[in-house]
Amino acid sequence: MRIVIGSDHAGYALKMQIKTYLEAKNYTVIDVGTDSAAESVSYVDYGRSAAAEIVSGRADRGIIVCGSGIGISIAANKVPGIRAALCTNSYMAEMARRHNDANMLALGGRMLAANYAQTIVDAFLTYEFEGGRHQKRLDSLE
């Protein structure tokens, strides 16, 4: 599975920890930036860049991180075809996949410890969309 990751400066540290974690689990990771926590950058740019990787088919799922996870999820969700879910626990990530077919996970770099974030990432990457009655709801979003 190819995973795109992106963050602004506030999410940089958590993004890098997640990247290392995913690579150790043999996922292919596409990092669209940012490359430092030192310079303030816009979460909009990195949310959109990560979303573009999903829409183009270069990545299967995405993980995006800003300070709270809110701004970057809003930015990504502006891209047609993206369903970014801001999750603060593994059950939310499970439901985002099973019921909403979320293709991007948004996390708050200032909100979550790395080991806790990893449990959320694991849930997001483990579960599949159930379809059925949930598909009708997704169709209505289009």
Catalytic residues: 66, 99
Q: What are the CA-CA distances from residue 97 to residues 20, 22, 29, 108, 128 (Å)?
A: 23, 18, 19, 18, 6
CA distance 68 to 71: 7
CA distance 114 to 123: 14
Long-range CB pairs of 29-33 (<8 Å, 24+ gap) are: 29/2, 29/3, 29/4, 29/5, 30/2, 30/3, 30/4, 30/5, 30/58, 30/59, 31/4, 31/5, 31/6, 32/4, 32/5, 32/6, 33/6, 33/7
